[in-house]
Amino acid sequence: MGILKNIFTWWEGATFGTWMGLRGKTRVGEDAQGNVYWQGGSDTAGNPRRWVIYSGLNDASRVPPEWFSWLHHQIDGAPDQSLPAPRVWEKPPEPNRTGTIEAWRPKGALEEGGRRVAATGDYEAWTPGA
């Protein structure tokens, strides 16, 4: 099932066609999550083409900020060569939690009981013609 899945599905990593397209391209680096970054050829504006092959589910929020900068031509070289070392106070990036059980939900959300905090005295509901 692994080979067939790789040929026909794109949402859990690169397809067979993508891997074939990597021939002759340059592997630039890998991030802490195992995503691999590639460069090769050029786009219509003459900029080098850059892309990521995800390790696991294809989710753009899994690209760390430093590699995002490289992908979008904000820096020229690979992040480990072009950027300073991370500061001690910096937290590691987190993937987008939307749609998961870990997503943030306000107190009035249905998943949190559906009851919001009562409005304070400075709120007056709008009524037509008032």
Residue 30, pLDDT score: 92
Residue 1, pLDDT score: 47
Residue 89, pLDDT score: 94
Tokens read off for 57: 């589910």
Burial class (CB in 10 A: 0-12, 13-18, 19+), 93: middle
Q: Per-residue pLDDT tens for 15-38?
A: 666 666 677 888 999 998 899 999
Q: Per-residue pLDDT tens for 44-73?
A: 888 889 988 888 778 888 898 899 999 999
Residue 106, pLDDT score: 81
CA 89 vs CA 32, 67, 80, 92: distances in Å? 18, 19, 18, 10
